[in-house]
Amino acid sequence: MSKERELLKKVLATGWLDHTLSCEVETLLARPEQDNIQYLLDQVARLTAENAMLKEKWSTPKPESEQQPEAWIVVNKETGYRTQVSHFPDSYDKNTFEVIPLYITPPKRGRITDNEIYNRCCAMDSSYTCNFIDGVEWAEEQHGITGVDDE
């Protein structure tokens, strides 16, 4: 018998505990005594299993969900007056107001298409075309903009 259990039995026998504490001690003493080594092995097994579950949970990539706007800025096209709303953005007349969605984080941008790059290059001096394309690709790479080219 462990020293702790012996002490609990002695304290319980003294009658110094109130009814609630006496019930707790009796409940503890009613449990079978565990071998400390087996208890530790059980705890290690439990923690190992929990660790594996947590590792799987956090290492599994989460699919990016379609992000919804959290609020909108409504701009009066005539006066330029701006106000922020969090409900019913569709109730504003599109001819009078511009409705701009606001996101918690900006939506992920896709790559600039080859057609967009080509059209811009055609509008420029032809001696800069290769440098322009390289610059666009470098800028996308630096800002983490990736994706499949739309052609």
How high is the mean pLDDT of the chain? 76
pLDDT of the residue at 106: 62
CB 74 within 8 A of CB 83: yes
pLDDT of residue 150 exceeding 50, the answer is: no
Band of pLDDT at residue 46, cut at 50, 70 and 90: confident
Average pLDDT over residues 93-122: 78
Q: For residue 49, what pLDDT is reported?
A: 81
pTM, 2 dp: 0.30
Rounded mean pLDDT of 94-98?
89
